[in-house]
Every structure is written in structure tokens, then in C-alpha cells.
Structure 1
Amino acid sequence: MNLNIDGKTYFFSEGITLEDISQNFKDMHKAKIVAAKVNNEVVDLSTKIVKDCDIEFIDMSTEEGMKVYRRSLTFVLIKAVKDILPGSKVTIEHSLGKGLYCEIHGSTVNNKIVQTIKNRMKEIIDANYPIVQKYMDKKEALDLFMKEGLKEKVCLFKYSDKDEIPVYYCDDVVDFFYSPCVPSTGYLKLFDLLLYFPGVILLFPEPAKPDVLPTFVDVPKLASIFKEAEEWANILNIGYVSSLNDMIKNGHGRELVLISEALHEKKIASIADHIYQNKMIKLVLIAGPSSSGKTSFVHRLSVQLRVNGLKPLPISLDNYFLPRDKTPKDEFGNYNFETIDALDLELFNDQIIKLMQGEEVELPIFNFKKGVREEKGQIVQLEKNQIILVEGIHGLNERLTRDIPKDSKYRVYISALTQLNLDEHNRISTTETRLLRRIVRDNQFRSSDAEETILMWPSVRKGEENYIFPYQEDADIMFNSSLPYELPVIKRYAEPLLKDIDSDSKAFSVAQELLEVLSYFVPLEDESAIPPNSLIKEFIGGSCLDV
């Protein structure tokens, strides 16, 4: 066979596995190879190649590679718990503090038990058990899952039209994962397991430093949001995607939408009430990553502040950019508009303080085409019942408001912080939810196709990692903009856009993974119950707000 690997043609015998081929290329990669793309589709290294194709190896220095590593590591944890605590069940909950928060049901965990599980994981990894993928007929796979006590997986495929299901084996453990794993446990040398009551934190490397374990940093405010989301899920009676699908299929989609939106409105109202009750607050700063619904949130918070008798004065950080000739550049020599050093911090602090003292100021208006401020700005003066609202990526960074007294400001972090998981062991990352939101929005309002948005996403994520996520725990309050029903709604908009991406595109593999995720959701066709001020309307269209 003639195989095109990294732009060069190589000859290999028919039937050779990707793992065997990868041994010839491991020195060309800066991190361990864990999977591969065959004709742009991500597959296991155990895959046998039987005809000419294009191959691209995936290592741990990429996000795609680290997903494979994380997923496989959870399989080892599941096996270790089965070995140490027979009858107990593991649930993979959500990311937390650079790790995965997992719970062990059926046993009370303590430091001693966690250490025992960790030691068993090391033994499993040292034994280098094969992780075998086998495609099974749907009925055969579901019968197997039921026999193994994996009822949630049976429920997940209740409305699926898939004929075959990928089943994974590791020694005596059987499971389903919707994306590839490593070929054997020996690939998973780097990990840690920590007690985080009532569960555990599973630590693994990051793409930027694939050979180093990060230090776990507790994020109690974020953890409380996950707890709140769990309570909301209980109110809605939805634990996993299967129960969400049942609600929609049984005609309860309207009820789901109304309760979800009411919970959002109640939270926004409570934030406004808190701001009103604290008479010291004169400045509200709102920050969050891309496609969090910040614009809709600001409008809805403004309405609730008006209900309390406060009149918001919105100020855009975009107007405080330094002139183009003073804008910092990145390591590639390009203007870096995302760094906080691209803003005129001295002017911003000076004007905010003057406004808070009742003085009249001339707010700048930045001309992005010319790269300079307009000669004339906007004259404003804060009235007695007014409060300043500032929305921007640097809102939580103390440097932005360094001269403003702490008691005078209130910082809000907004993001799609949670997402229903497919089942106990297959989580959907909130990053994927935000990417789907952005794909739909960019197509609806910015004339960008899905391919363009996907290819731009890594640079967006880099900015978030540098300038937003490090400061999220500095927020006074967090708002979770996720809506349990949003993926059943977004599915109808996103699927045709993702299917339009050609198989030779660099965006194809990401598109395929997103399509796979969406395939497990029953669509919510009737959108009549979605209110016009819903955050989801910012992305699908039809919002009554100026978004």
C-alpha cells in the first residue's frame, strides 16, 4: 500500500496497524502518539490499514490527542474501582481545576480508598492491558450492556438509528465510548488521583505540557455552580441525555423550556437584587469566554436593575484600545488585541473614578478602521440612580480596575459551565457546546461557514486560556448560561452546516465529532415556547434584545 503520511508517500504491507506504523514516526512528534486521522477521520491506533490513504498521527500535544488520553484514563479508573470496590459505580461528572471530577457510588471514599484505587490504576497501566474496540450489532451490544448493568447506555440508544455500536473491552470490563481510546493501558503513565469529597479528581497532562502533570488548584466558586446545576437537573428530572430525550418524545419539551428559562430569570433577578441592596456598588464588570451569551445577559441584567430603580450606563471596553502604533504585538509580529496591555488602562480608571464622583467625562470612541480614537467622544455624567456596566474579556482582571476601590465594584463571570452528559462515562465538554453555539451564530449573523469557525476556534481558546479562565475565581458571582434544552434546539441548525464540511478539510474531524455528539439528541422541533429574550436566541436568531 502507498500511504501519504505528513505529505510524503511510504509503502507498507496491507493489514498493518496504525500503532505499528506509528513506531516509525514517533521521533518526529514532540509528544506520545495516541491516535491518528485516516483520511481526516480520527480512529484508534489499533485500526488496520488495508488500502491507500492519507494518515496524520495525533499526539498528546494536541487537544484531540489529549481527549483520547483523558477518555482512556477514565476507562482505567472504571476498571480499578470495579476491582477494588465490587458493586460500586463510577460517574464521570465534569472538568474541575485542570482535572476531571468523578464520583464513586456505592462506597464512601476517603484518602485510604483513593490511594488504593490509584495503586490499582498503576498496576493496570503497568500490565499494559489491551483496550480493544469491537463494533457490535445494536441489539447484541444493548443486550451486553444490560447484562453488565450499564442501563443508562441502553437508554441512550433508545431513539438512535445506529446499526452498530463501538464496544470497548479492557480485561474483564466492557464499556461504550463515542470516540477513540488508546490501544493499551501502557500509554497512560502520567496521571494522579486525589480525594475531592464526595468524589475524586482525576489529573492528567495538558496539551501545552504533555509530559508534566498540572497542580490541582481548587475552584470552590466553580464547584458551587456545578452543584447548582445538579439541583436544577433534579428540578427538571433530567440526569443524562436519555431522560432529556424522553421528555421531548413524551411531549414535555414546552415544560422543559419554560422551567429552564424561569431558572435563568430567577438567577439574573437575584444578581440584580444583590447589586441593588449593596449601595456601595457603582461598577458592574461582566466577563466570560466566547459564545457564553454575554450580550443577552447584559441586556437581561439591565432590565432587572431597572426593575430595582437603577439605570445602567453601559461602557464598552472596545473604545479604550490604544492607538494602533502603541498596540502590543504577539510572538509572530501580529497585533495582539486580546491582551489587557492593548487597552488604555490609565484613561479607563481615571474616567470611571470621575464618573463615580459625579463628574462629567468624554468617553472615547475608537475607530477600528483607522486604528485611532475619534476626535470627539461621548459626553456623559452619572446620575444619582445610575450604575456603570462594563462587559469585556478582561472584566475580572484586577489590573483593569486597579485604581477603583474593591467595595465599589461587582464582578460577574458568565459561561456555559455545564452540559448534560451522554451517560455515566461519556461527558460532553462545555467547550463543545460553546463551539456549536458559535458555529450557528457565525453562520446566522456573520456570514461565516462552519469550517471557518472551527479553524478559528483554537486561537479563540488560546485567548480564553490566557486572559479569562485564570481570573474566573475572582468573580463575585458566576452565572451558568447553559440551558438543558439547547442542544436539541441547536441540532437542527448545526447539523446541515457541519455536514457541508468536505472530508479533505482540516475542520472535518472536529465536525465529525460534533455530529456524533448531536446524533444522540432528539431534536426539539417546536420552538414556540422559547421566549424572545432567551440566551439561546442570541445564537439561533429571533432575539428581542439588541444582540
Structure 2
Amino acid sequence: MSINVIINGETKVYEENTSLLEISKDFQKDYQEDIILAFVDNKLRELFKTVTKDCTVRFVTTKDSAGRKTYKRGMTLVLLKAIHDEIGNLNVEKVLVEYSIGSGYYCEIKSDAILDEALIERIEARMRKIIADDIPFQKRSITTDEAIELFKNYRMYDKEKLFRYRRVSKANIYKLGGFEDYFYGYMPPRTGMLQYFKLYKYDDGLIMQLPSDEDPRVVPPFEPRHKLFGVLKESNRWGNTMKIETVGALNDVICKGGINDLILVQEALQEKKIGEIAEQIVANRTNKFIMISGPSSSGKTTFSHRLSIELRTHGMNPLPIALDNYFVDRMNTPLDAEGNPNFECLEAIDIEQFNNDMMKLLNGERVELPSYNFKLGKREYKGNYQQLGEDDILVIEGIHGLNDKLSHSLPKESKFKIYISALTQLNIDEHNRIPTTDGRLIRRMVRDARTRGIAAKDTIAMWASVRRGEEENIFPFQEEADVMFNSALIYELAILKLYAEPILFGIDRECTEYVEAKRLLKFLDYFIGVSPEEVPRNSIIREFVGGSYFKVD
């Protein structure tokens, strides 16, 4: 039986049960990047699926967000199989896919084998052989009980624990040449399309370097980010000490009534870190400008308030300055590639006025500081005069805070730079990471809906643009920070779940953003929800769910 398939406005006739992979071969010539998934009547599908009726198909490439995630999952499964092939199943205690560093994944192998350059070269060669053999990814559905037993037998105990809290009755398992695993999300059809990667030895593990978001066919050289890695490793050590490395372990704590103690311990740890940063600042009296920067929804505002309190305990008088008050008048705001105002580029700030005011303050002069009227799109002066005394220190918050082009006239020794981000230390299981961007997106959705009346659909729609701004204006300067602060709380997704699920369920199935909403709902389903009642009023998470002591809305 023949069916009609509409692709890119063109109707093609195929036999019933033709696979999407076969259909994609007819259209690959029209795309620069590799086709890796497809939408069938607005529902995301893996390419091994077949068409069974008249439908509309839209292809997803490795340039698209869903395609990039799928490529990374496929590469992770290839890496895991290669490690087990080279070292031997019985000799591998555990492989940990820990965190993202740039465009790569940092992984550790728990084994008696010595992870040296020679072993990494063998693992990479095995990966390239698996890819050259163009092996299909096979998918099968089993019951949750079968999954628990399967992963117990495979000694993947984190997955065994995860599935004990699954509400659904079925689980999808992927098989690659005899190696089976569970992954949160779709897979490519075959290994042959996974051409772009490179392995590097790093610290106690390895980096699997993958293509950047800008070009899915180019693997950039690995550039170590030692400060970021140090913060991630420190957070991971704390999770290990508390025996909470995965979602399943967090659910264990919640079920056993330990969540309140966990909240108090985690908050105390953050308070201690903020106190240590304050001590570093006051130890050097030449520090007069605290420059705070970080990506969206990192909790910069609450952090600034809490840091200011700590500084006051040391006899300092912190004065807050928001870089947003130095926006150029809206009519002069640069435009982005689509012709829209680009409020996130450095040129959207009146750099010279900012430097002029800051230098005058540094020299002891009295300065009237501006405020920005966002309704009118103009900078205004309302008598906010400031003059720096001996114990005064300026706390400057904004996305360009770490970029020396912003503060080019200020002496280097007068600046203390802080990078803050929500660097999630929790993983779903040993092989499924929680991207830090997912945690921040959920934070932002909850806050947008609560304080700004912005629907979750709209937050998701603008997220790609937000991420591009971060890649251009924040991440390139993170290693220049004097200190990094991780604002992620190990328990926070169990709290955010209660707020995020209703607004995600409110996204219409026909919306473009529904696919992302469905993915996030599946992700949040791993967590047992927790009431925010015991969360302290000065917690960073209060900036998003409400009830903060500070003016953060």
C-alpha cells in the first residue's frame, strides 16, 4: 500500500512501513548537517521508525538542539561499549559520565586498569572501529521490574535504584553490539553517522571532546578550564561524601525522611562558601570593585545580597550597582542578526560613562549614579549620589562583569571577579548527566511564570537566544574570575518539580515548544517532589519559587 508523505512542502509517495531512515536518504542532499531524527505530524521520532499513513515529516539535523542531544547520547553509548570492550566487562566496576567541560564530557573509569594515554588511544581506536562498522542502535521495551533486575545483573546499581522510583510500567533499553544501557532520550539510527569526536587524558579521567554547537562537523581542540573543573570536582566530592550522587540516592533520602537535614546542610555549605569569598575580598584592601557575572538564572541577585551581608560582618560597607543602569538609550541599542535589539552585547552598555563614573569614585569624588527607566528605554538621574569611603566597596552585577573591556580604565588590583553559575552536581545515573542548562531553564521558567507573567512556552522559545548570548558574552571570560561559586543546590529539582510541572503541562501539544516541554516533564518525573516549607528564606532557590527575604523579583 502506498502513502503520501509531505516533506519541505513536497509530496512524495512511499510504500507503507518505509523507515524514516530510508526516506531521509532521499533528502540528505538538501541539508548541510546530518539528519538524525524526524518529526512526524509534529511528534519527534527516531529514524528506525516507519511511516504507516499519510503524514507530514520534518527532519532534525545535528545542528538542531534535539539533534545535538541525540548525537551526544549516541557518542556516550559508543564510548561505554568501547571501554567495556577494551578493559573487559568484569574488570569495569563503573564508568561515570560526570560533567560537561566546554563541548566535551569528563568521564572517570572505576577499574583496576591504569587509565593512561595508551589505554585512551585503544579506547578511541575501538570507538572508531564501532563507528566504521555502522552498527545499528537497537531499542527494546521491558517492564520496570525487568529493568531493575537487568541493571542489578549488569552491576549498574545507580540505574537499579533509579528504576525503583519510576512510576511508568515500561522502560526503553538500547543495545549496541551486545552492550545494553538505559538513556534518557532518543538515539541515532546507526553508529556510522557519529564521525566527530576526540579523546583526551585529563585529571583522573578522560575528556570525550564533541563538536561545538556552532558547527556539528568540527571538533574544536580541548581547552582545559581548570577553575571550572575545580568547582565541579569539589561539588562532586561533597555529593559523594553525602552519598548523594544520583537522583535515585536523593529519592532515598526523601523517602527516609532526611530531606530537612539535607536542606540545612546544603544551605550551611553555601553560607560557608560565601563567607570564605568575603574573607578573600577583605584580606586585600585594594579590592574596591566586586565584579559579579554568570549565566541566566544562576541566582546572582540573592548571592550579591548574601555576600554583602558577609562583608558587613567584616566592617565593610557594600554599595550595589547594577550594570543594567548603564544601558544606552534604547534607540541606540545595537541590533542582532535578526534585526532585534541585542541587549546582551557589550555595546548595549555605555562603557565610557561607566568607566568615567567608576574612576571618579575610585579617586574619592562624589558621583551621581544613573538608573535605567525600562518603560521609556532611557537612562535617568534621580539624585543617587555616592562617594567611596575607606570601608566602602562597590558590588557590581551584570553579564559583562568579567570582561575587562567593560572596566578597561579600572586598575586590575582594584577588581575582584566572581563567576557564579548553577553547576548541577547531581546526575540521573552513572551514564545520564543532568545538563546545567536544564537546571537553569527550569529555574527561569518557574520565576518567569511567577513574577513576570511569562508562559513556560515563551521562556522555552527564547532560551536558545539566551544561550547564544551566554556563549558570546559570559562563558569565554569565566576562567578570568578570582573565584567561582556554584549556586546549585543538590535538592532543588525536587522543590522546583512542584512548580514546573503544572506550567509545562499547560503547553499545547501543537506548539513547537511542546517537544521540549515533554522532555522536561519526563526528566522531572524521576524526582520525588518536596515542599519548599523548610527552605530558608535567604536561600538562592527562593529567588525562583518565592518567599525570599531579599528584593529579588
TM (normalized to structure 1)?
A: 0.97
- Between the aligned partners of 2:490 and 2:11, the Cα distance in structure 1 is 47
Which residue matches 1:537? 542
Match of 1:299 among 293, 305, 319: 305
Match of 2:154 among 137, 143, 148: 148
Which residue matches 1:203? 209
- Between the aligned partners of 1:217 and 1:16, the Cα distance in structure 2 is 44
Q: How does 1:37-52 map to 2 (within 5 A)?
A: 37-52=39-54
- Alpha carbons 2:291, 2:415 under 8 Å: kept: yes
CA deviation profile, 1:329-366 (whole Å, cap 9, x unmatched):
22233322211112111111121111122110111223
- Between the aligned partners of 1:427 and 1:496, the Cα distance in structure 2 is 24
- Alpha carbons 2:293, 2:397 under 8 Å: kept: yes
Which residue matches 1:498? 504
Q: How does 1:155-174 map to 2 (within 5 A)?
A: 155-174=161-180
Q: How far has the Cα of 1:376 moved from its partner?
A: 4.7
Q: How far has the Cα of 1:273 moved from its partner?
A: 1.2
1:28 aligned onto 2:33:
no
Which residue matches 2:346? 340
Unpaired stretches in structure 1, ≥5 consecutive residues: none
Q: How far has the Cα of 1:7 moved from its partner?
A: 4.6
Which residue matches 2:69? 67
CA deviation profile, 1:380-433 (whole Å, cap 9, x unmatched):
111222100100000000101111111111010001012311111111101000
- Between the aligned partners of 1:44 and 1:243, the Cα distance in structure 2 is 31
Which residue matches 1:288? 294
1:11 aligned onto 2:18:
no
- Between the aligned partners of 2:78 and 2:504, the Cα distance in structure 1 is 32
- Alpha carbons 1:40, 1:508 under 8 Å: kept: no
Mean CA deviation greater in 120-129 or 26-35: 26-35
Specify the code of the residue in structure 2 equivalent to 1:340: L
Q: CA RMSD in A?
A: 1.4
Match of 1:278 among 279, 284, 305: 284
Which residue matches 1:250? 256
Mean CA deviation greater in 412-421 or 285-294: 412-421
Match of 1:231 among 227, 237, 252: 237
Specify the code of the residue in structure 2 equivalent to 1:233: G
Q: How far has the Cα of 1:112 moved from its partner?
A: 0.7
TM (normalized to structure 2)?
A: 0.96
Question: What secondary structure is seen at the aligned counterpart in 2 of 1:365?
Answer: strand
- Between the aligned partners of 2:15 and 2:63, the Cα distance in structure 1 is 29
**Shift in CA distance, 376/300, structure 1 to aligned 2, threshold 3 Å:** closer
Specify the code of the residue in structure 1 equivalent to 2:540: L
- Between the aligned partners of 1:51 and 1:490, the Cα distance in structure 2 is 40
- Alpha carbons 2:5, 2:57 under 8 Å: kept: yes
Specify the code of the residue in structure 2 equivalent to 1:440: V
Q: How does 1:79-478 map to 2 (within 5 A)?
A: 79-86=81-88, 87-88=91-92, 89-106=94-111, 107-374=113-380, 376-478=382-484
Q: How far has the Cα of 1:322 moved from its partner?
A: 2.0
Unpaired stretches in structure 2, ≥5 consecutive residues: none
Q: Using the aligned pairs only, state the percent identity.
A: 45
Mean CA deviation greater in 341-350 or 325-334: 325-334
**Shift in CA distance, 366/239, structure 1 to aligned 2, threshold 3 Å:** closer
- Alpha carbons 1:533, 1:545 under 8 Å: kept: yes
- Alpha carbons 2:446, 2:496 under 8 Å: kept: yes
- Alpha carbons 1:282, 1:387 under 8 Å: kept: yes
Mean CA deviation greater in 54-63 or 452-461: 54-63
Mean CA deviation greater in 206-215 or 287-296: 206-215
- Between the aligned partners of 1:350 and 1:455, the Cα distance in structure 2 is 38
Question: What secondary structure is seen at the aligned counterpart in 2 of 1:221?
Answer: helix
CA deviation profile, 1:107-133 (whole Å, cap 9, x unmatched):
221111100111111111111111111
How many matched pairs?
A: 546
- Alpha carbons 2:139, 2:174 under 8 Å: kept: yes
- Alpha carbons 1:39, 1:503 under 8 Å: kept: no
- Alpha carbons 1:100, 1:201 under 8 Å: kept: yes
